[in-house]
Structure 1
Amino acid sequence: MRTLTSILYGLILCALFIFAIKLSAPEVPEGMVLIPAGDSIDAFYMDAYEVTNAEYRKFIEENPEWRKDKALTSVVGDGYLSGWNGNMYPKGKANHPVVNISWFAAKAYAEWMGKELPTEAQWERSARGTLEGKKYPWGDAKPRRRANYNRYTRSASFRNPPTKEVGSYAPNKYGLYDMAGNVEEWCLEQLDVDDIHGRYHRARGGSWFSGAKVIQIAKRSQHPVNDGMGTLGFRCVLPKTETMSIEVATDIAAWLSDEMCEQFDSAFYSVSMGYTAHVNLNAKLADIVMYNTGYPRTFEKELIRVLREVGPEGIEDLPYEEPTIYYDLTLRLWRLYLEVHFKHSTENIYEKLRLFKARVTENIDDVVLSDGC
């Protein structure tokens, strides 16, 4: 009897011990893998697979401003979701990685999921697994039958490229799939260089288009922030430290206003040098506004109206007829309005203008007193 009691007591203690271990163990989010701390990098979670067409479709269903027929070309590029039929991915490719996605679109998806794009350091640590100093996620062996790569032919389509379903090959030591080949993956970092015009971000991992050397872990590439390719996709991370970069709505608004500033300057310069007739200037400026914001240039009257309502005494006397002052001021207003537009995309125009009015009130000194765009 004592022996049976001792056995039962021992089983109960074991069960309690196992239960305590489960309670203390970190709960890994579904579909993600825990990457342990190391190399001066805090622990974080990473998606086991590249983001798929089916997953991205759920995102655009809930965020209409990112649908193929509504997304701004200035933000997503001419080839955004180019292989899709409207807002439906190619037949039979639900579990293939989504491609033709700009960095901004990838960042927006990550935020919607409560996640982030990986830094290069996070991506490389994840790709290597426990294998330090190796060429590929599996070691130094040649990639034959280990990755989707070197698939380019004359008949290959960048609109509907020869990707493979995520997870078609064995994972690395951390349980991550397709860290080499299939599609390149956007990273968070922006290139900090002066000899490249425009804004570029890093991508890692190589793709179906790449040769064996290009899909090596250490290889890097870069692409314009507002353009996607049939070779380029992404996956997300979830930092355990809860640190996030600048919100994509704020980032897009700042970038678009800077782009418009440069394009306005170019238009004025073209007229001053006689390259463009002065009578064509207004049409050129209207095109710039429509391309970058999706709004007609006449909408600027609403922005100015709000400024006059909340601005300090004397705001009515600003020399709006002076082009430089007018456009510098208007671009600062566009920056605030576009932030509201992207952050509250599902609201109607009247609610957006109400929120914009609040933002102008909060930032009135910057709007009125700042120099330049």
Structure 2
Amino acid sequence: MASLKPQQTAQKKNKAICCESNIPKRFASLQTQPANTLSTIPEGSGSHKGMVWIKNGDFMMGADNKQAAEDEYPKHKVIVTGFWIDATEVTNAEFARFVKATGYVTTAEKKPDWNELKKQLPPGTPKPDDKLLVPASLVFSSPKQAVDLNDYGQWWSWQAGADWRHPHGPGSNIEGKDNYPVVQVSWYDAQAYCKWAGKRLPTEAEWEWAARGGVTNNIYPWGNEPVDSGKPKANTWQGSFPYKNLLTDKFYFAAPVKSFKANNFGLFDMAGNVWEWCNDLYNNKYYSSINKPAGISNPKGPATSFDPQEPYAKKRVIRGGSYLCNDSYCSGYRVARRMKSTEDSGMEHVGFRCVADK
């Protein structure tokens, strides 16, 4: 890892370990999606119902405070063309309509293909036990006491039968949770839904511009007040992660959409609740490559993915943090916070929202 800026030193030890990107490969990326799946989805005409128009603008994208990670630098000027964006994360009810209309089967509901999986892993990686190569996904499991925050296997488990209908594992369900964000969806699943809805996933720049709500250099969508000061402002983890949640915000897992105040653009849950897929590939040095005094218009992300922690894995950006985020390790609810995950990954705290062009 390259040396960090002085203000980043405190972040070096605990690096966003709430997400799949840092989970040992014996648990993660045991899924794959046939390359032609998206082509079988009918393309929708698009509707702006439930969406908010985000005006043209320019802003300084990237690191706002001393919690910033290395990949949030340098802060750079970005110009964004106006677009529509969902006011909320896509819900279980909305995703269920898509599945009913198309018969779509999500990544987590399919048996993994080892020949595809091994392309993401270092050469010579042994094949996992066949009992792992079944439809499954990653589920949060809280330990009973404090654990080493660098050992993410202490709170993630690979469970057969976990999918969008059973987000916490085979014994769970989404009955009565129509207005909760859909989770356990891969980047492929999000892409398929967007196509059917006549929309697309946001670019990382669009997402951050929308999250900032037109306000300059704020740390969070609501402003600069620390996440645990005053009234709850987002669905996050209060207390000692991962074993004690004080439930100050009243939610242990995901919350119904619109449970917290919208930002200045009228968008809900741009911080906390569930991480959200973006369209961009992830590259830890991307910001350096596009940093120009005059700014860059509508950046689409790097041409190639690279994560030094897992150099063989192809990853996409996820944004916004989740109900598992806490200042002790990831502060994912900061508007500049970047995270990443492999395209085939599903987790119980990752969802998405869509955008549409004018």
TM-score, length-scaled by structure 2:
0.54
> Closer, same or farther in 2 for the Cα pair 1:193/1:84, shift >3 Å?
closer
Sequence identity (%): 36
Equivalent position SS for 1:175: coil
Letter in 1 for 2:226: K
Superposed, 1:154-165 pairs within 5 Å as 154=243, 162-165=253-256
Equivalent position SS for 1:112: helix
Equivalent position SS for 1:209: coil
Where does residue 215 of structure 1 map in the other structure? 333
2:254 is the counterpart of 1:167 = no
Letter in 1 for 2:345: D
Letter in 1 for 2:319: R
2:167 is the counterpart of 1:83 = yes
1:200 to 311, 315, 324: 315
Where does residue 123 of structure 1 map in the other structure? 207
Task: Give the whole-Å Cα distance in 2 for the aligned partners of 1:123 and 1:77.
Answer: 31
Superposed, 1:23-172 pairs within 5 Å as 29-39=48-58, 40-66=79-105, 71=110, 73-74=112-113, 78-79=136-137, 80-81=163-164, 82-83=166-167, 89-144=173-228, 145-150=232-237, 153-154=242-243, 162-172=253-263
Task: Give the whole-Å Cα distance in 2 for the aligned partners of 1:138 and 1:229.
Answer: 26
Unaligned runs of 5+ in 2: 1-46, 59-78, 117-133, 138-162, 246-250, 283-304
Larger radius of gyration: 1
> Closer, same or farther in 2 for the Cα pair 1:211/1:125, shift >3 Å?
same
Equivalent position SS for 1:65: coil
C-alpha RMSD over aligned residues: 2.9
> Closer, same or farther in 2 for the Cα pair 1:194/1:179, shift >3 Å?
closer
Letter in 2 for 1:232: V
Per-residue Cα deviation, 1:150-189 (whole angstroms, up to 9, x for no partner) = 1555499xxx971100000010010000000000100001
Q: Which moved more, 1:75-84 or 1:162-171?
A: 75-84
Task: Give the whole-Å Cα distance in 1 for the aligned partners of 2:307 and 2:83.
Answer: 32
Alignment check: 8 A CA contact 2:107 2:189 kept:
no
> Closer, same or farther in 2 for the Cα pair 1:73/1:154, shift >3 Å?
farther
Once the two structures are TM-superposed, the CA of residue 217 in structure 1 deviates from its matched residue by 0.5
* Higher relative contact order (CA closer than 8 Å, sequence separation 6+): 2
Once the two structures are TM-superposed, the CA of residue 104 in structure 1 deviates from its matched residue by 0.3
Task: Give the whole-Å Cα distance in 2 for the aligned partners of 1:110 and 1:73.
Answer: 23
Once the two structures are TM-superposed, the CA of residue 60 in structure 1 deviates from its matched residue by 0.9
Task: Give the whole-Å Cα distance in 2 for the aligned partners of 1:222 and 1:69.
Answer: 18
Alignment check: 8 A CA contact 1:96 1:163 kept:
yes
Per-residue Cα deviation, 1:303-345 (whole angstroms, up to 9, x for no partner) = xxxxxxxxxxxxxxxxxxxxxxxxxxxxxxxxxxxxxxxxxxx
Task: Give the whole-Å Cα distance in 2 for the aligned partners of 1:218 and 1:69.
Answer: 29
Letter in 1 for 2:136: D
Alignment check: 8 A CA contact 2:108 2:184 kept:
no
Superposed, 1:252-271 pairs within 5 Å as none
Task: Give the whole-Å Cα distance in 1 for the aligned partners of 2:49 and 2:192.
Answer: 20
* Count, aligned residues: 210
Task: Give the whole-Å Cα distance in 2 for the aligned partners of 1:231 and 1:29.
Answer: 26
Once the two structures are TM-superposed, the CA of residue 226 in structure 1 deviates from its matched residue by 0.3
Task: Give the whole-Å Cα distance in 2 for the aligned partners of 1:77 and 1:48.
Answer: 32
Letter in 2 for 1:164: A
> Closer, same or farther in 2 for the Cα pair 1:134/1:70, shift >3 Å?
closer
Where does residue 229 of structure 1 map in the other structure? 347
> Closer, same or farther in 2 for the Cα pair 1:61/1:129, shift >3 Å?
same
Equivalent position SS for 1:185: strand
Higher strand proportion, which one?
2
Alignment check: 8 A CA contact 1:161 1:230 kept:
no
Letter in 2 for 1:62: A
Alignment check: 8 A CA contact 1:45 1:238 kept:
yes
